[in-house]
Structure 1
């Protein structure tokens, strides 16, 4: 699957990492719902760090449709709240 981190580019991820990433996404969703900025920042940083760690960067010149898009690392709690669905940022 392909994920885009806004402002950084696209990465390919193996499907078997989805459960782990969904757990981190659920923590982020809870932090946004609670409106706790410190908890939000920690959850956001953890999710992005894990995606970067597990993902393989795609060449810049190769652009493909993304399976999901994550906000940039400097996004605010309110900006992320506007992007969230009831499932969070990661479908599934």
Structure 2
């Protein structure tokens, strides 16, 4: 699967890693709902770091369709909240 980190690029990531990403996504969603800014920031960075460490970066000139689009590392809690629909996190499932 292809994961895009906004403002950074795309990463090829095995779907077998979705469970790890979902765990962090659930934490992120809970922190957003509780208005926990510091916790949100820490978990967002952990989620993006996990994508970077488990995935392989695609070349800058590659334009593959992305199955997942994650916010940039400096995205605010409100910006990420706007990306979400309903009670789903950033990662469906």
For normalisation by structure 1, the TM-score amounts to: 0.96
Give 2:73's aligned residue.
73
The residue matched to 1:91 in structure 2 has which SS? coil
2:46 counterpart of 1:46: yes
Q: Over aligned residue pairs, what C-alpha RMSD do you find?
A: 0.7
Equivalent position of 2:90 in the other structure? 89
Q: Which structure 1 residue ranges, 5 or more long, are not aligned?
A: none
SS of match in other structure, 1:10:
strand
User: Could you tell me the TM-score, scaled by structure 2's length?
Assistant: 0.95
Give the 4+ runs in structure 1 shifted more than 2 A: none
Partners of 2:88 and 2:20 in 1: how far apart?
Answer: 14
Q: After the TM superposition, which residues 7-46 of structure 1 pair with which residues of structure 2 at under 5 Å, given as runs? A: 7-46=7-46
Distance 2:46 2:27 in 1: 10
Deviation of 1:8 (Å) = 0.3
1:60 deviates by 1.2
Gaps of 5+ in 2: none
